[in-house]
């Protein structure tokens, strides 16, 4: 008998994946957690029926959500990841020699432990001496750490249920306060094709707070629509105007210096979604 995952977070559309084997399935304190093995994407982390990351395509998301802000900041030393319990963002952050400390703040400790066991290719840097893992509420953590981080990365699940508070408004204001004077924030901000209202809201919430606010796109096969938005908020530095000649590339499969500035060139329909000319 064949087994399939049918992801239905988008009204009127579904993503389906054939499953070879279910490696883990449990109800945590916060969500339904599964690790499955698939023929097309390898092992997958699935939370509440929604694919979060896969062995085959995770490098796209994790490289873009980390290297864009880290290569924009002139000297990032202390970085916070809110969410991101799979550890992929931490792995990429620690490729930057300037980083002295990377804090992972994940509310669900079971996600961290599951990824360490079943997704070691992604979680491999969580035991690095520069990484500090904090299991707890990311919203409270950000509020309690003023003027502390050079870069803050919001690597959250989709804006439903417990993750809803990680998108927009008051949380972005607290992020601004938690950043140092040259600080930069980035968040994954969903699909402009299927969730245009959500994308518009989170981008413009950030724009009201940060002097420089930019959106860029990346192609991620396992996310609905395959074309995903990220929003960058910066106190000083424009992430779309980086001197890429100074970028030293190490062990990357998607991000390139040429792509850094080019990814901020948006299709017209995405500009229309966020209200830019």
Give residue-wise pLDDT tens across range 201-254. Answer: 999 999 999 999 999 999 999 999 999 999 999 999 999 999 999 898 788 999
pLDDT of residue 119: 98
Tell me how crowded residue 62 is: count the other CB atoms within 10 A of its CB.
25
Q: Write down the pLDDT at residue 161.
A: 52
41 & 97 share domain: no
Q: Are residues 13 and 85 in the same domain?
A: no
**CATH number of 16's domain:** 2.30.140.10
Q: Are 137 and 43 within one domain? A: no
Residues of the chain above pLDDT 70, percent: 95
Q: What is the mean predicted confidence (pLDDT) over 157-163?
A: 52
- Domain ends where: 15, 39, 54? 54
The answer to the question of whether 62 is labelled as a binding residue is yes
Residue 159, pLDDT above cutoff 70:
no
- Known binding residue 57? Answer is no
Angle at which helices 169-178 and 196-207 pack, to 10 degrees?
A: 40
121 and 32, same structural domain?
no
Is 29 found in the same domain as 107?
A: no
pLDDT at 162 over 50: no
| pLDDT of 65 strictly over 80 | yes
Give the domain-ending residue among 32, 54, 76.
Answer: 54
Which residues on neighbouring strands pair with residue 104, listed in sequence order?
A: 81, 133
**Is 137 one of the annotated binding-site residues?**
yes
The CATH number of the domain holding residue 221 is 3.40.50.150
Task: Please give the Cα distance from 88 to 184 (Å, whole number).
Answer: 19
Question: Are 192 and 262 part of one and the same domain?
Answer: yes
What is the domain range of residue 15? 3-54
pLDDT value, residue 163: 43
- Predicted confidence band of residue 115 (pLDDT cuts 50, 70, 90): very high
Segment 66-92 mean pLDDT: 98
Provide the H-helix boundaries in 2-131: 58-72, 88-93, 109-118, 120-123
Indicate if 29 and 114 belong to the same structural domain: no
**Is 106 marked as a binding-site residue?**
yes
State the pLDDT at residue 274. 97
Clarify whether residues 45 and 82 are in a common domain: no
Mean pLDDT of 180-206: 95
pLDDT at 166 over 70: no
Do 181 and 161 lie in a common domain? yes
Q: pTM, whole model, 2 decimals?
A: 0.95
Considering the domain architecture, whether residues 225 and 269 belong to the same structural domain is answered as: yes
Q: Is the dihedral of CA 221, 227, 231, 232 positive or negative?
A: positive
pLDDT tens string 28-63:
999 999 999 999 999 999 999 999 999 999 999 999
Residues marked active site are found at 155
pLDDT number for residue 250? 80
Work out the average pLDDT over 56-73.
98
Task: Report the C-alpha gap between 112 and 219 in whole angstroms.
Answer: 26
Contacts of 79 (CB under 8 A, 6+ apart): 70, 93, 99, 101, 102, 103, 149, 150, 151, 152, 153
158 known member of a binding site: yes
Count of domains forming the chain: 2
- Write down the pLDDT at residue 34: 98
Residues 48, 164 share a domain: no
Average pLDDT of the residues in 156-169? 56
34 lies in the same domain as 103:
no
Greatest extent of the chain over all pairs of C-alpha atoms, in Å = 57
Domain boundary at 54, 77, 94, which? Answer: 54
């Amino acid at each position: 008998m064949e087994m399939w995952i049918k992801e239905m977070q988008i009204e009127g559309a579904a993503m389906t994946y054939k499953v070879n084997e279910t490696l883990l399935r449990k109800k945590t304190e916060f969500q339904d957690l599964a690790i499955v093995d698939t023929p097309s994407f390898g092992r997958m982390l699935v939370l509440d029926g929604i694919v979060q990351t896969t062995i085959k395509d995770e490098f796209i998301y994790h490289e873009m959500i980390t290297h864009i802000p880290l290569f924009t900041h002139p000297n990032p030393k202390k970085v916070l990841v809110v969410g991101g319990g799979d550890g992929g963002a931490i792995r990429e952050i620690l490729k930057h020699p300037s980083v002295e400390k990377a804090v992972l703040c994940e509310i669900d400790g079971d996600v961290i432990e599951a990824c360490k066991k079943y997704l070691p290719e992604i979680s491999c840097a969580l035991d690095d001496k520069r990484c500090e893992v904090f299991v707890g509420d990311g919203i409270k953590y950000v509020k309690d750490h003023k003027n502390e981080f050079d870069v803050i990365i919001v690597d959250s699940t989709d804006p439903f249920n417990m993750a809803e508070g990680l998108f927009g408004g008051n949380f972005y204001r607290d992020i601004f306060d938690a950043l140092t004077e040259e600080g930069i924030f980035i968040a994954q901000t969903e699909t402009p094709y299927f969730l245009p209202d959500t994308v518009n809201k989170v981008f413009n919430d950030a724009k009201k707070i940060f002097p420089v606010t930019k959106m860029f796109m990346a192609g991620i096969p396992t996310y609905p629509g395959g074309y995903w938005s990220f929003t960058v908020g910066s106190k000083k530095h424009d992430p779309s105007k980086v001197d890429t000649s100074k970028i030293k590339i190490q062990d990357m499969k998607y991000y390139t210096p040429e792509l850094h500035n080019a990814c901020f060139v948006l299709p017209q329909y995405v500009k229309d979604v966020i209200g830019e000319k």
